[in-house]
Amino acid sequence: MSQKLGWIGLGRMGEAMVTKLLKAGHNVHVWNRTASKAAHLAEYGAKIEAHKIDLASCDVVFTMVSTTDDLKEVLFGTGGLVTGSAKPQVVVDSSSISQEGSAEIRAQLEGMGIAYLCTPVSGNAKVAKAGKLLVVASGPKKLYEMVEPYLQAMSRKVMWVGEGELARIWKIAHNTMFGVVIQNLCEITVLAEKAGIPRHVFLESINDSVLGSMYTRYKTPMLSNLTFDQVTFTPQLLLKDMDLGMGAAKAYGVPMPAAAATRESVARMVGHGHDHIDFAVLLAETARDAGLELKSENVTISDGLT
């Protein structure tokens, strides 16, 4: 595969994903709003570009940003990727954005003759660094098949779920469940601890039961030791995704009472000022409501990712 690749967006996820792509030997040109975050990628062979429009000469450009507006800005805003005379052949986006916003972007790109593939992922930055992401794609099947080798380099599994924006619906459903699961996990953990079961013992038992998952295992060290400063995903980002989930539920006429209650719990957490901390701080919020003061258990526990 000798195509020239571009990458826009080096947050926690983007940095981990493009590093995998570089280590697989691909030719990648990189741009990030904060240039210093891109500099270290040069040691893996990345070509650091000063302007995002400089990536327009790439065959395929990957984007990983925070919101629909962020994606529109890097593509169509001042100095955006597709605002010059040169245009990439393909844009592949892994951001968590709305179905409606994605459809608008698809229409605008395809109107310029640029192919577009949605490729949201399951996993946080640590999962990405471990090469254990799941990538779910939607768009033209032939386009997916062309891009699939690059996606495979960044993940443990890649799936195509259909045409158009179906991968956006998948991601919205996934992250809505993400919120509901952490809400329930925090509730039952506080219940067990207040009854007298040490927190890490209870979580280990859940991990080894039929209810255990990669998710419960990699959150166990943080929940046991209260290391919420080791951010994987913030409450504000979770609230954004829960709002997307509730919006999709309304659009499709699907009642989601558990998700609705979780959305309010996450909004309350954001209202308490938890802006730059991991969303697992919900455990402390739940314990406080139960009259329980949490302390770090200072235990060494494998998260299953290293």
Query: Mean pLDDT of residues grouped by 10 in the chain (306 residues)?
Result: 88 94 96 90 95 96 94 97 97 94 97 98 92 96 97 97 97 95 98 98 97 94 97 93 95 97 97 92 97 96 81
Backbone angles phi, psi at 117, to 5 degrees: -130, 130
Give residue limits of the domains in the chain: 5-164, 169-289
What CATH architecture does domain 169-289 belong to?
A: Orthogonal Bundle (1.10)
Contact call for residues 43 and 66 (beta carbons, < 8 A): no
User: In this structure, which CATH number among 3.40.50.720, 3.40.920.10, 3.40.50.150, 3.40.630.30 belongs to the domain 5-164?
Assistant: 3.40.50.720
pTM as predicted: 0.90
Round to whole Å and give the CA distance between 219 and 206: 12
pLDDT for the residue 2: 63
SS3 assignment for 86-137: CCCCEEEECCCCCHHHHHHHHHHHHHCCCEEEECCEECCHHHHHCCCCEEEE
Contact call for residues 119 and 88 (beta carbons, < 8 A): no
Beta-bridged to residue 30, according to DSSP, are 7, 48
pLDDT for the residue 302: 85
pLDDT for the residue 304: 79
